[in-house]
Each structure stands twice: as structure tokens, then as C-alpha cells.
Structure 1
Amino acid sequence: MPATFSYASILRAVGQVLDQIGARSIAIHEEEDGLFVEGFNSDGQLQVQLRYDIASLYDLVNKSENQVDEATPIETTGVLHRFLSNHDRELAGTLL
């Protein structure tokens, strides 16, 4: 069992949960025994509150890492486009 996780792995795991819920903005507060996470809808109204203690964060990150290991490129190619669409943004590129 690893002693620590990177912020990137923790935020990725929490972000996947918030994406599934459909949160449009978030607030994450670090607490002595874990994280307190709030997700808000597009109107800024509180949609969900999640409290993760150390043990539940460990489980969440492990589950997230296992899902990433099993993901295929086809499953992950639309992530950026879905994110941009959900946030009313579009990808700008340049032609060479």
C-alpha cells in the first residue's frame, strides 16, 4: 500500500466522480482527515457535497487508476471534446 498519492491522482479520481454527477464548478477543501468536495450546477447552486476520509480516498484513487489501466484509446479520445462541450467551449487550432 503506497504511503502517499500525488495531487494529480487524487484530483483525477475526484474529478471523475464530479464529471459523472455533471458538476459545472467545484470547491475542494483539504481537511485533517481527508477532503470535503462541493459540486455546483451551471446556476451556481450546490448540487453535491462529498466528504472523503483517508481510507475512502485510497479506495477511490485505486479504483480510478484501475479504470485508467483498462481504458482503451477509443474510450478516452472524446474526453477533451466532451469537456469543452460541457463548458460551452471549443477547441481552437492552427493550420500549418
Structure 2
Amino acid sequence: MAQVENQNAGFLIYHTYFFEQLFIDLLIVHPALRRKGVVKALIEYVENNCTSKKIFSSTNKSNESMQHVFDALHYKQSGYIDNLDEGDPEIVFYKEIRS
């Protein structure tokens, strides 16, 4: 959970069920607190406390703002998943974490 000025700003959910790799499953940020670095802080917290060698996540092709976040944090595209949302493929991203 992230806070900005003592207000809950957002949260992140992850798991290790994705081929035994850490997968960021859900990121939620309060609409009034978006574009204030909350997502970046949440992801960096997970990266800094991660015990796996890679982190994966995904977003829809239509979600350009999240794609920019992944690019800014040096995640690389790893593939696509079709047929989850009609006409809007899911893009899978990953980042190797230094030991």
C-alpha cells in the first residue's frame, strides 16, 4: 500500500504462480493521485524486495500509460496474449532483477 499525505494512494498485488516467477497482477491508484509516482514507487518497492530473478506483469495494448510506466522502469516486452479482451491483446512485460 502506498500513501500520499496520509491518504491511501494505491496498492499492488503480486503472486508467484506464473511459472514460479513473481507476477504483478494488479495495480490500483486513487484517481485523484494518479501521475504522482505512486505506481513507480509500488513497483520499485517490489523490485527491491523481490527474491526471484525476474518480475513479470502485463497490460492491455490499449493501456498506453501503463506501457510508458513499464518502459520508464526498463521492463521489456515478452509476448502477447490474444483473446482475453476482444480486439485488445494483453502485452506481457518482464524485467530481470539483479541478485
TM, length-normalised to structure 1: 0.26
Asked which structure has the greater RCO (Cα within 8 Å, sep 6+), the reply is 2
Higher strand proportion (structure 1 or 2): 2
Higher helix proportion (structure 1 or 2): 1
TM, length-normalised to structure 2: 0.26
